[in-house]
Amino acid sequence: MHSPSGYKLVKLASSAYSVHSLAHAETFHPVIGPVAEAEALYLKQLRLRERLQGHQGEFVIWDVGQGAAANALTVLRATMDVPASIHLLSFDHTPGPLAFALNHSTELDYLGGYEGQLKTLLATGRVDFSNETQSVRWDFHEADFPSFLTAPAAEKLAKPHAIMFDAFSPAKNPAMWTAPLFARLFQLLDPGRPCALPTYSRSTLLRVTLLLAGFFVGVGHATGEKEETTIAANTLDLIAEPLEPKWLQRAQRSSSAEPLWTPVYRQAKLAPETYERLRVHPQFI
């Protein structure tokens, strides 16, 4: 089902529907579908229900790569019975996927019940709503994320407890996977506020990049089509299966391990000085 908006609806092998970007030639949440992937990769891996229980004050979630809002809505729906105040900050360079999704909410049934809130979010960039137990403040930042992070406004953002990182792949969107971006992201965290960041990639390049940025890094949950994903955090307590020192040997052997220092995709072996920085990371000492 094509659309002049630059997106089309696709039916996945799991029988769930998802959105496909014609410009990037990539499908959001391929194979197992939007809700199943969001549950495995973000909801369960971040232990959001558990962390929200008894949390004092706002629990801040950054939703990087809002897309058609499947990650955000899956989290909100799955925690709606947990007494909590959630501040959701979504980032995307375009509201296009969400606007498209709202026109196909019958097929994309995860939007059900949130259509009104999403229309307000698109129209004003912010929406507040609540039920008997959960209150939500949701902000949408339409911006080029790498540029936005370096702007003064980024310093004023609410510091996250969790980051759902769901950009298009490094080959298609290298600017979202560079070493400077993740270093800046780590810099913006509150060192006293535990924060975890899962993402769908398991690449050595990404894991090296996250480690050099300052994160602790571990093996992430399977999501159906991927046996492993990646989780990073500013504290080891939030990582169930940290990378072990022997992983460094695999990184040394890899033909694609050197981080992207500029927003141009390429594959390269670890430079000797990069390996030395990894070797003395607190995770491996």
Chain segment 187-244, per-residue pLDDT in tens: 999 999 999 999 999 999 999 999 999 999 999 987 766 689 999 999 999 999 999 9
Q: Kind of pairing, strands 126-130 and 162-165?
A: unpaired
**CA-to-CA distance for 167 and 177, rounded, in angstroms?**
8
Predicted confidence at residue 207, as pLDDT, reads 98
Predicted confidence at residue 254, as pLDDT, reads 98
In Å, what is the CA distance from 78 to each residue of 62, 92, 223?
Answer: 17, 23, 17
Which helix (H) or strand (E) segment is 156 a member of? Answer: none
Predicted confidence at residue 74, as pLDDT, reads 96
Weakly modelled stretches of the chain, pLDDT under 70: 1-4, 31, 224-226
- Domain ranges (residues) in the chain: 33-243
Predicted confidence at residue 14, as pLDDT, reads 83
Place of tokens 């400077």: 180
Tell me the fold of 33-243: Rossmann fold (3.40.50)
Predicted confidence at residue 2, as pLDDT, reads 43
CB 115 within 8 A of CB 102: yes
Predicted confidence at residue 1, as pLDDT, reads 42
Burial 246-271 (b: 16+ CB within 10 A, else e): ebbeebbebeebbbbeeeebeeeebe
Predicted confidence at residue 12, as pLDDT, reads 87
Sequence letter at residue 170: P
Report the side by side order of strands in the sheet with 84-92. 126-130, 134-142, 84-92, 58-64, 162-165, 196-199, 229-233, 216-220
